[in-house]
Structure 1
Amino acid sequence: MNWRRQMKLLLTLTAAGVMALVGTQVNAAPSAADAARLGKTLTPLGAEQAGSKDGEIPEWTGGLCQAPAGYKPSSADGGAPYVNPFANEKPLFSISAANVDKYADRLDDGQKELFRRYPKTYRMEVYPTHRTACFPDWVYENTIKRVMSPRLVGDGPGLEDAHAQIPFPIPATGQEALYNFFARYFPAYYRGDYEAWLVDSAGDKMLSTHGVLQYYIDYWDNSKAKSNQMYALSNVHVGPPSQAGEMDMRIQWKRMDEREPTAWFYTPGQRRVRLAPEFTYDTVVTSNSGIFLWDETNGFDGKMDRFDFKLVGKKELYIPYNVYKYLNTPVDQLLQKNHVNPDNLRYELHRVWVVEATLKAGARHVDSKKVFYLDEDSWDMVGYEGFDHADKLVRVLWFPVWQAYDVPAPMNNNQLIYDFVKQNWALGSFGVGEGFHKRGPLPANYFTADALATRGVQ
């Protein structure tokens, strides 16, 4: 469907669907006037369709929905390697320690800290901005048609009356914005080969984990009328040798106020599956060399009951975006002492939602504050900052974004992690082999403890 026809369909859905629901609004729903902006002044998922006043951020015109010429994935289901549609572009300028003050208002605290710590080597190559985010038409249709239904309930909170849609395209609270991130689009069945590498303060490199992930995104199964889960995943460790054969499995429920995220762990030596309630909150992720916490996975994971979440608003920031060169660079060329090789990372100016979380009085957590940066076009997490109880920045994560035009959807399942206490950094979830791609359905009982045990014995 071309963009003109797509917009006509969206406007029809806005009039027929949104206005029909005006009389049954619940507290989380936007006004009918705001909802009617979807597909007009707002994109179908809630971003500002117009460009920035200075023209550096262009208008969104539908995104990169088709594979460029020369795309030849290694898997029949798509995925890597992604041909770079912007290979001939040159940087507009570089940000270095010498000129960082000029661009300070468009940098987050983590980037400023890296310039302060490594002024001789850290820099950012800034390129023209391309708003490449594109999703299947039915994702747009569902989001607009069902915009009045979703609501957050209970302490956690839980999500109700939402399925196969961005639940809050016009968010009113920090929790609503974070739920848009939780519910960002993925194909219902997804597979990924990944590696995580640690670079210590001396510059030594170590493979911290290598695994294979299988996802079932129940929430985005459009063949169903409703869902109980946000997602289920199974992770098989294939390396390094000390981890080979270990497996873990996790289910994130929509009603997190009623059901805690559930995790299981399989140990080859014991040949048994056990529940893993410690896979939550501020428990250290040991499989990734302890460089981040469980609730920092993908930027944020689990319940939101220990923090108060404030929707700060939007900001224009230079973020890693359309990073095809980075994806196609051998990992050895990316791993430098102190930080990623700046020759291979592309930054663009984009608008992001900023959400700030502060620890509730009496709640326990090693962080006192968390700051999240969400891409307005995709609801992908693009940046995260964690602060300790002395209000000191201790950890930052960035999630380089690229448009997987074979899906189509923007993806951010790579991580750049910096631990400013240990002075280590890590490159995590770096696609290897066939990378991340769609796959066919899995057996109905695949995400059960019994099935996990059976796979372990095999």
Structure 2
Amino acid sequence: MTKTTSSPRRALICITLAAVLGSGGARAAATEAEAAALGKNLTPIGAEAAANKDGAIPAWSGGMTQVPAGWKPGHLDPFKDDKPLFSIDAANLDKYADKLSAGQIALIKAYKGYRMDVYPSRRSCPVPDFVAAQTKKNAAAAKLGADGWQLEQVFGAGVPFPVPKSGAEVMWNYKLRYTGLGRRAQISALMPEKDGSYVENKQWAYEMYPFNDPKVTGPADVGGVESKLLYDVLTPPSRAGEGYLIHAYIDKPQDAWIYFPGQRRVRRSPTFAYDNPIAGFDNLYFVDQINMFTGALDRYDYKLVGKKEMYVPYNSYKLINKKQKFKDMLGPEYVNRDLMRYEPHRVWVVEATVKADKRHSFAKRVFHFDEDSWALLQVDMYDAKGNLWRVQEGSLWAAPDVGACMAYETQMYDLVARRYVVDNWTAEGEVLDLTAAKDGRITAANFTQDEMRRRGER
């Protein structure tokens, strides 16, 4: 494995100077002028509203606020008539390397036939009015604790730090971004084999994000809970009936419980966190890689590198198309490239380095966050020797019925094992219900140990 090195061509567009490069700690709120820019020069949640210099990234015009006729997740692609502008592959990689991450470059070099089809940029992510209002309130008052990662003060369903000054603030913008109150879906995590077959882990997934309730005014209203996740395993048969429950918090590491059908017991699982491997994935997938990143921020220092124009997965409606079959979507080495759509967008870049008194299998991670949604779209992960080890990408698409962009499907490539895993894929799932919590089909009562036990014993 070759060590990655920096290149002058991969210049970052720094938004501020020394203040932007801070890595944590309590900080002052946004200045009055910075907060006043929200909804003007900046979008209501902090992105640059204007187009970029060459016009490849257009001005933000509000995103997809109207529900298209016939809209249902997995059944409509609003941009189906778009054609690729160009493709990036091994033959022309040097021409576009300044707009790629180290991980994207490594994938193109490592796998024959791997390419990235680049489409017109569609700034499709909307911002509900109540999210805009809460974000402006947060801009003046949200703050981190003295340890540099706990969220000491925040209001409701808005972005905490729309004008971020540290890497940890960007991480919290990602963790508390608005994606609706909660959802339920039948998802699959798939692990392809070299012969073209694949192992499927099918699950019912239930997710709830209490901060996204418009009535919430702060952490006390939700007991300090950031999110609640529940997974019921359906396949493979050897794991059917298992259940996993996760409660993530804004001020402490997460709690987790596992239900084992053979024992008919729910057990607390303090090891279901950080870099502990998830069962059934041949050590290719760690717990804190779920949903691109999950869990506490306490093991890393976070440096806000700046902002960069980059080709990232965007408007990935082909990946959720219910007409697709997994056997056609998965190749032996990588996802079918006809299904991946990349667009030019501005992203925030955060470099996370393991603290001196902590440990993690990933000694360094480089995160890339979409400026329009704060979704995490691409992560490069390095081992203790500085070698690029894994590359993970999220796939984002606008959901006008929720008023937000969803970053759900993920793909993770292990460059050492030369294998990959995909998760949260819904193309063959029966249900993709984005408004389940709003409409009462799931409630807080679904995310308890008793409910977990009841479901397992049915």
TM-score higher than 0.5 here?
A: yes
Partner of 1:116: 109
Q: Does 1:421 align with 2:437?
A: no
Alpha carbons 2:157, 2:211 under 8 Å: kept: yes
Alpha carbons 2:149, 2:298 under 8 Å: kept: yes
CA RMSD of aligned residues (A): 1.6
Rounded to whole Å, the distance in 2 between the matches of 1:152 and 1:419 is 34
Identity rate, percent: 40
Q: Report SS of the residue matched to 1:446.
A: helix
Rounded to whole Å, the distance in 1 between the matches of 2:66 and 2:286 is 37
> Counterpart amino acid of 2:391?
V
Q: Structure 2 vs 1, CA of residues 29 and 156 (structure 1 numbering), >3 Å: closer, same or farther?
A: closer
Rounded to whole Å, the distance in 1 between the matches of 2:131 and 2:254 is 26
**Deviation of residue 444 (structure 1)?**
4.5
**Deviation of residue 223 (structure 1)?**
2.5
Partner of 1:309: 302
Q: Report SS of the residue matched to 1:379.
A: coil
Q: Report SS of the residue matched to 1:138.
A: helix
> Counterpart amino acid of 2:188?
E
Partner of 1:63: 63
Alpha carbons 1:193, 1:436 under 8 Å: kept: no
**Deviation of residue 323 (structure 1)?**
1.3
Rounded to whole Å, the distance in 2 between the matches of 1:204 and 1:85 is 31
Q: Does 1:457 align with 2:442?
A: no
Partner of 1:342: 337
Partner of 1:36: 36
> Counterpart amino acid of 2:31?
S
Unpaired segments ≥5 residues, structure 2: 1-25
Alpha carbons 2:184, 2:431 under 8 Å: kept: no
Q: Tell me the matched-pair count.
A: 421
Which residues in structure 2 correspond to 1:222-371 (within 5 Å)?
Answer: 222-226=214-218, 227=222, 228-256=224-252, 260-328=253-321, 329-371=324-366
Alpha carbons 1:38, 1:46 under 8 Å: kept: yes
Greater CA drift, 36-45 or 442-451: 442-451
**Deviation of residue 30 (structure 1)?**
0.8
Q: Does 1:383 align with 2:375?
A: no
Q: Return the match for 2:134 from 142, 149, 160.
A: 142
| Alpha-carbon displacement from aligned partner over 1:380-406 (angstroms, at most 9, x marks no partner) | 000011100111111111001111122
Q: Structure 2 vs 1, CA of residues 152 and 360 (structure 1 numbering), >3 Å: closer, same or farther?
A: same
Partner of 1:96: 89
| Alpha-carbon displacement from aligned partner over 1:89-141 (angstroms, at most 9, x marks no partner) | 2111111111111001011111111111123x111111110100013221112
**Deviation of residue 288 (structure 1)?**
3.9
Q: Return the match for 2:158 from 153, 165, 182.
A: 165
Alpha carbons 1:370, 1:386 under 8 Å: kept: yes
**Deviation of residue 289 (structure 1)?**
4.1
Alpha carbons 2:303, 2:350 under 8 Å: kept: yes
Alpha carbons 2:45, 2:135 under 8 Å: kept: yes
**Deviation of residue 322 (structure 1)?**
0.8
Which residues in structure 2 correspond to 1:158-237 (within 5 Å)?
Answer: 158-162=150-154, 163-200=156-193, 202-226=194-218, 227=222, 228-237=224-233
Rounded to whole Å, the distance in 2 between the matches of 1:156 and 1:145 is 21
Q: Structure 2 vs 1, CA of residues 444 and 379 (structure 1 numbering), >3 Å: closer, same or farther?
A: closer
> Counterpart amino acid of 1:433?
E
Rounded to whole Å, the distance in 2 between the matches of 1:402 and 1:111 is 20
| Alpha-carbon displacement from aligned partner over 1:42-83 (angstroms, at most 9, x marks no partner) | 000000000100000000010011222332x3xxxxxx2241
| Alpha-carbon displacement from aligned partner over 1:313-355 (angstroms, at most 9, x marks no partner) | 0001111111112321322221012111111211100000000
Q: Does 1:373 align with 2:365?
A: no
Unpaired segments ≥5 residues, structure 1: 1-25, 74-79
Rounded to whole Å, the distance in 2 between the matches of 1:304 and 1:364 is 13
TM-score after normalising by structure 2: 0.89
